Amino acid sequence: MSETITAKLAELARQSQALAERLSRPQVTSDPDYIELAQQYSRLKGAAELYQALQALERQIAEIEGLKGAESDEAMLELIREELAEKQQQREQLLAEAKQLLVPQEPHDARGSIIEIRAGTGGDESTLFAADLLRMYGRYAERSGLKLEMMDAHPTPIGGFKSVVFSVSGRGGAYGRFKFESGVHRVQRVPKTESAGRVHTSTVTVAVLPEVEPLEINIKDSDLEIEAFRAGGPGGQNVNKVNSAVRIVHKPSGLAVTCREERSQHKNKEKALRLLRARLMAGATSKAEQERASTRRILIGSAARAEKIRTYNFPQNRVTDHRIDLTLYRLAEILDGNLELLLEPLSLAYREEQLAGIVG
């Protein structure tokens, strides 16, 4: 792939040179597209500089290899081999930088995210694993300096969740970190209520949506049906006596959202609208996402909600991510929030796929 990466950099370097010549003309400042052209040149300039550095390094490597072939003294050969290894390492570093440059950050990655965990097949065991995933994400968010904020939850008497919705935000973006979690998570373990010691299989579905700003999607007040009601379940006297929970129905789409985690009706309404915007945006883009995802092994976002992405096998202390055939025998660490063990390989494989689409 290094040759195709170099070829792509060479093409961008040529574009940079042509744009530099265009921008050097005096009359270009009156061009209505001047600002856009200047920004484009700024992006291309980095690729051109990287290409020049890579070309210079390739010449140095060729010269060193020539010296290696002509040298017979073992002491000198050892020095040449060391220098050659150093230059080859520098080349790998430049190629890694080129990959980062050729695959820009996706626009939603820097956004906050709204995550929904919903129990699937498996009854009570599924609701308990939904609670395990919530703890895992909470610990990962804490490790990463991100803020987790509950939006809505349907707890069960045994400590599980039928469903739970929360947001994650912070510097560097949360969506880019969590987007690979969308899909069906399968758990294999012996339930506490299982007297015969048999392993049961349950599933939990996770949906990860990017946060949407109010101006990005137009929601008319007349299209909303808003209802306040009492939030049931644990939470103290206020929960049972005050209509603080909010349910919003978006009449044109039929989408309904609820938020009940705040004691303030106003705050619950605010959170419900955030969730509604995210779901409306996801619905508008899901078809394009599905078409895009169908050509990739690594599925993300709404297109992945029906796909089994990962298995957590407790008897074997094993976690397998089926998208990249990655198996780790470190289940306890991962459930304790060390999600980097999975997310970093996923991100790398995903970027490799994107790069293959660009330079292929």
Distances (CA, A) of 156 to 14, 86, 189, 191, 240: 62, 59, 20, 16, 17
pTM over 0.85? The answer is no
By mean pLDDT, which of 5-9, 52-56, 81-85, 198-202 is the weakest? 5-9
In percent, the amount of the chain with pLDDT more than 90 equals 45
Token digits of residue 156: 């069960």
Quickly list DSSP for 123-156: THHHHHHHHHHHHHHHHHHHHTT-EEEEEEEEE-
CA dihedral 354, 329, 138, 208 (to 10 degrees): 30
- pLDDT averaged over every residue in the chain: 85
pLDDT at 230: 80
pLDDT at 72: 78
Question: Which one is predicted more confidently, 358 or 54?
Answer: 54
Token digits of residue 317: 């202390």
What is the mean pLDDT of the segment spanning 63-89? 88
pLDDT at 103: 77
pLDDT at 289: 56
Token digits of residue 341: 């063990």
What is the mean pLDDT of the segment spanning 137-150? 95
What is the mean pLDDT of the segment spanning 62-85? 87
pLDDT at 302: 36
Measure the CA–CA gap between 100 and 207, rounded to whole angstroms.
27
Q: How far apart are the first and last CA of the chain?
A: 9
Say which amino acid occupies 87. Answer: K
What is the maximum span of the chain, computed from C-alpha positions, in angstroms?
A: 91
By mean pLDDT, which of 20-34, 226-240, 247-261 is the weakest? 226-240
- pLDDT at 167 > cutoff 90: yes
- pLDDT at 338 > cutoff 90: yes
- Select from 176, 150, 178, 144 the least CA-distant residue to 338: 144
Say which amino acid occupies 63. Answer: E
Distances (CA, A) of 100 to 14, 16, 53, 108, 138: 19, 18, 16, 17, 29
